[in-house]
Amino acid sequence: KNKTEDSVHITVVGGCFPASQSMLIVKVLECMEAVKDGADEVDIVISVGSLLDMDYEEVSKEISTISQTIKQLKPSVHLKVIIETGVLDLHQIATASFLAMEAGADFIKTSTGKTSPAATPEAAVVMCECIKKFYAQTGKRIGFKPAGGIVTSDDAALFYGIVDTILGKEWLNREYFRFGASRMANNLLTEIENTEVKYY
């Protein structure tokens, strides 16, 4: 392998993406097999139904069980937890963010892209504020990934600005800040190259 190959991570969705509606054992096995097959990062969706029922213990148990299991197989693996912000109010988004971080998420992510709205500035502000508070309490940096409905360079600049303003320069790198937006990637590359790009 060369340096470029080593720096490219294999990322998968797991845990019965995108609805996250199955038994925990199925979610765990799916994520385990993905890591065994070489995944470096696993994206799962929070149990939205349990969250809306205010069964926070179940939400936390699912995330922590998956996190502990995959990290036993590969300690370097990253777990990204999708909040699905479009179906939650701002208070629920904050609750879900803290539950995910406390249960072992390395990243919290706004959306699957399967609901509308997906990533919104309001959700991003709440999630980044939660990450800031969590860091102040624990000293652990959690990553942030807005995803879904981010299409233009202006969209990218808006979310970049939110992260910069709330979390600061330490988060403005691929270790702690990602976009989930293939259409935006094409548009950014088109602007940079000054010719239409349809890579993604």
The whole-angstrom separation of Cα 169 and Cα 90 is: 25
Told to judge if 74 belongs to the known catalytic residues of this protein, a careful annotator would answer no
* CA separation for the pair 175, 107 (Å, rounded): 9
Judge whether 132 counts as a catalytic residue.
no
- Among residues 43, 80, 106, 155, the one annotated as catalytic is 43
Q: How many CB atoms lie within 10 A of CB 1?
A: 7
Identify the active-site residue in 27, 80, 106, 145.
Answer: 145
Helix 182-193 crosses helix 153-166 at what angle (to 10 degrees)?
A: 110
Amino acid identity, position 94: A
**198 catalytic per annotation:** no
CA distances from 176 to 50, 58, 126, 142, 166 (A): 27, 27, 16, 7, 13
**Measured between alpha carbons, how far is 148 from 118 in angstroms, rounded to an integer?**
5
What whole-number distance in Å separates Cα of residue 145 and Cα of residue 79? 12
Helix axes 90-102, 121-138, angle to 10 degrees: 40
* Catalytically annotated residues: 43, 109, 145
